């Protein structure tokens, strides 16, 4: 009877959790589906405001304009470059800091951890921060898109916790065999840390890809705009889109163009996430069992 009760309770809990997750997923997905449907709808349907979850008067006119816009592609590649370089640098620097901090024998670790925690609690004042980066040449410089983002205390603490759970027996065996600390780190620890590297890498990647306020402070040259700023420029500069949409013979409006631009900016992150999802599940399990 106890087993039946526990089984029934577990089943009820499972269905409640699944229901809540489905509802949360719908809340997240429906706005995206609505915007995608609008980007694939005709000018008339968008003007009449009759598009909901499915395209009305299906057309690729908005997407043809977006995908042939030179300015958007320039911003796209600027953002891709900043994200790729930024993630690689961030993972290198974060792992190099997190690994020694995970070792009890590292005497300075406690002080460095306190310093890292302080950066989570106290943020740099905006004006001194702006002037400091400007004085070192990062104003209107694409490097500002990723250099200030390559080490955050939160991501470093995640990686440190993972390294703390790494089997000490494996490291000791490698050191006995004559491996140095750097060889041990790069040849044994990092190759076994794909789960945490993928997880933290995605955190850094999403931050760099989606940043808007930060580049808005430092980038004024429109030729250096990252994708999010370019999309904002298109959406806020409604007069340009309205003049395009008012042209005779076109099958898009300013709303369908805006929708296509928004989806264009979101798609790369959505496309990458499924390839990294397995590492999230693995990352949750690793560290609980030593092997």
Three-state DSSP class for 86?
A: helix
CA-based nearest residue to 146, from 63, 86, 215: 86
- pLDDT 10s digits, 128-176: 999 999 999 999 999 999 999 999 999 999 899 889 888 888 888 877 7
Q: How far is CA 232 from its chain centroid?
A: 18
Rg (CA), the chain: 24
- pLDDT 10s digits, 183-229: 888 888 888 888 889 889 988 998 999 999 899 999 999 899 999 99
State residue 178's pLDDT score: 76
Model-level pTM? 0.82
State residue 24's pLDDT score: 93
Which DSSP string do the residues of 154-212 spell out, in sequence order? HHHHHHHHHHHTS-HHHHHHHHHTT--HHHHIIIIIGGG-HHHHHHHHHHHHHHHHH--
Which residues are within 8 A (CB) of 61 and not within 5 positions of it... i.e. 6 or more apart? Answer: 42, 43, 250, 251, 252, 256
């Amino acid at each position: 009877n106890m087993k039946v009760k526990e089984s029934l309770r577990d089943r009820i809990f499972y269905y409640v959790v699944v229901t809540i997750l489905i509802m949360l997923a719908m809340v997240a997905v429906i706005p995206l589906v609505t915007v995608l449907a609008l980007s694939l709808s005709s000018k008339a349907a968008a003007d009449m405001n009759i598009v909901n979850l499915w395209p009305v008067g299906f057309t690729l006119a908005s997407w043809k304009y977006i995908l042939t816009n030179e300015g958007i592609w320039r911003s796209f590649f600027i953002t891709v470059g900043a994200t790729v370089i930024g993630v690689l640098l961030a993972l290198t620097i974060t792992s190099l800091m997190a690994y020694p901090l995970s070792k009890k024998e590292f005497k300075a670790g406690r002080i460095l951890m306190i310093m890292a925690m302080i950066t989570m609690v106290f943020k740099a004042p905006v004006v001194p921060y702006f002037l400091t980066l400007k004085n070192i040449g990062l104003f209107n410089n694409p490097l500002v898109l990723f250099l200030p983002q390559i080490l955050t205390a939160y991501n470093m603490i995640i990686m440190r916790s993972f390294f703390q759970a790494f089997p000490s027996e494996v490291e000791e065996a490698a050191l006995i065999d004559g491996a140095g600390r750097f060889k041990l780190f790069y040849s044994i620890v990092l190759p076994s840390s794909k789960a945490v590297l993928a997880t933290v890498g995605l955190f850094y990647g999403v931050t760099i890809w989606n940043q808007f306020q930060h580049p808005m402070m430092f980038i004024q040259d429109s030729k250096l705009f990252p994708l999010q700023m370019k999309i904002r420029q298109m959406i806020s500069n409604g007069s340009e889109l309205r003049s395009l949409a008012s042209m005779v013979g076109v099958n898009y409006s300013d709303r369908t163009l805006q929708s296509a631009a928004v989806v264009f900016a979101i798609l790369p992150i959505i496309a990458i996430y499924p390839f990294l999802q397995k590492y999230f599940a693995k990352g949750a399990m690793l560290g609980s069992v030593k092997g």
